[in-house]
Chain A
Amino acid sequence: MEGESHGNVPHGPNKRSPESPCVKSSGSSNNNHPDNNNKEQDRFLPIANVGRIMKKVIPSNGKISKDAKETVQECVSEFISFVTGEASDKCQREKRKTINGDDIIWAITTLGFEEYVAPLKLYLSKYRDIEGEKLNIPKQQRSEQKQQQQQQQPQQQQSEHEHNLPYNSSVYSSTNLLSHHPSFVPSDQPFSLPFSSNSIQKQLQQQDQIDSMGHW
């Protein structure tokens, strides 16, 4: 799924070298330097992934030029370097050797991207819970299975759905954060209609898997 596996991008990151910006227009010069190509690819995230994310926030009839995708690609790498630099400085000041997720979140806040912090913390806490689950499987699974049973029993009664909704919505929205922009709440989520028991039953059944794997 990575961009470099697609051979149909003649003016992709392979051809880019910031030291000589005009290289972009001449397709053959960098073919003699395969090392440069590999290094160039390593400097950026795959253009296919970048393009896919970009498309999510523009209308379906909108288009994105290739050089716009390339520019965003470069900006993302610069963003990563920028934030990592700040996080690394912090670790050095605190005499720690390893940059962890909290350092990244701190650096992002410091550099002005506070809006990202809430969804990132959510994402990170769920990741940590799941990783913790891997290590402590038996006990946590038992306690969650009990919770599952308590949820599933009132499933048939509509009046119970309202009690389940806050729990469902928090889990549901948190799983959405894995694949969706946090401010981009899809409007077709069934839990927004508390009286549609069928859709909520579907959620609860699927959440069997989610709950056993780890919720927070």
Chain B
Amino acid sequence: MRQAGTYSGILSGGISGRTGPHSLPLARIKKIMKKSGEDVKMISGEAPIVFSKACELFIKELTQRSWMVTMQGKRRTLNKEDVTSAVVATDIFDFLVNLVSEDSGNTVDATPLEMDTFTSSS
């Protein structure tokens, strides 16, 4: 089973930057952390490791929510608009709203009331 290999991966790989059991490259995570602000100077070895797990959980949650939108549309391909919808619909993803709306080039209406006003033309 791969659990034994996973453990030995941690021991030998440690925080050397191997993707091994962490599934996301630690060096890259560290780079992104450093870019987040001028004040970020010293990062402990375990911080990227925690992030590698946290990012995995984040990706999974975002994907699951996006897939629900895909299914509602009776489609089998998860596209960017599904991700955008999931972001808009989830409170804790509020920090992403500007990011996903910039990407699509559209301003995303987080308040459905406004949309109803615009569409009720009859």
Taken together as a complex, chains A and B put the C-alpha atoms of A3 and B11 apart, in Å, by 25
Q: Quick one: given A49-B23, A128-B46, are A81 and B80 in contact (CB under 8 Å)?
A: no
Q: Which of A28-36, A91-99, A141-149, A152-160 contacts B (4 or more CB under 8 A)?
A: A91-99
Q: Given the complex, which residues of A lie within 8 Å of B102, measured CB to CB?
A: 18, 21
Closest beta carbon of chain B to A213's beta carbon, Å: 5
Which A residues lie within 8 Å of B40 (CB)? 84, 88, 99
CB of B39 within 8 A of chain A? yes
Nearest CB of B to A86, in Å:
10
Q: Is A151 an interface residue (CB 8 A)?
A: no
Q: Is A8 on the interface with B (CB-CB < 8 A)?
A: no
Q: Please, which residues of chain A bring their CB within 8 A of the CB of B105?
A: 21
Q: Is the CB of A101 within 8 A of B77?
A: no
**A209 touches which of B8, B32, B33, B42 (Cβ 8 Å):** B8
Q: Is the CB of B50 within 8 A of A206?
A: no
Query: In the assembled complex, which residues on chain A have CB atoms less than 8 Å from the CB atom of B99?
Result: 74-75, 78
In the bound assembly, the distance between CA atoms of A97 and B77 in angstroms comes to 45
Q: How extensive is the interface on chain B, given as a class?
A: 35 or more
- Would A58 and B63 count as touching, CB distance under 8 A? yes
Report whether B37 and A88 are in contact in the complex, using a CB–CB cutoff of 8 Å. Answer: yes
Separation of A206 and B107 alpha carbons in the complex (Å)? 54
Chain A residues with Cβ under 8 A from B23's Cβ?
49, 52-53, 179
Residues on the A chain within 8 Å of B41, using CB: 97
The bracket for how many chain A residues form the interface is: 35 or more
How far apart are B51's CB and chain A's nearest CB, in angstroms?
Answer: 6
Residues of A within 8 A of B42 (CB): 97-99
- With A61-B76, A101-B50 in contact, is A75–B100 under 8 Å at CB? yes
A116 within 8 Å of B by Cβ? yes
A105 to chain B: which residues have CB within 8 Å?
A: 50
Q: Taking CB as reference atom, which chain B residue is nearest A103?
A: B47
Contact with A along B1-32 (1 / 0, CB 8 A): 11110111011001000010111110011011
CB distance from A31 to the nearest CB of B (A): 22
Evaluate contact between B53 and A123: CB separation under 8 angstroms: yes
Residues on B with beta carbons closer than 8 Å to the beta carbon of A18: 102-103
> Is the beta-carbon distance between B50 and A179 smaller than 8 angstroms?
no
Residues of B within 8 A of A (CB): 1-4, 6-8, 10-11, 14, 19, 21-25, 28-29, 31-33, 35-37, 39-44, 46-47, 49-51, 53-60, 62-64, 66-67, 70, 76-80, 82-84, 87, 91-93, 95-96, 99-100, 102-103, 105
Show 17 residue pairs from A and B whose CB-CB distance is below 8 angstroms, ordered by the A residue.
Answer: A53-B56, A54-B78, A63-B77, A68-B83, A76-B58, A77-B32, A79-B58, A84-B33, A89-B39, A98-B42, A100-B44, A112-B92, A116-B57, A172-B3, A184-B60, A210-B7, A213-B10
Chain A residues within 8 Å of B, Cβ to Cβ: 1-2, 18, 21, 42-46, 49-50, 52-54, 56-58, 61-65, 67-68, 70-72, 74-85, 87-89, 92, 97-101, 103-105, 108, 111-113, 115-116, 119-120, 123-124, 127-128, 130-131, 133-134, 172, 175-179, 181-182, 184, 202, 206-207, 209-210, 213-214
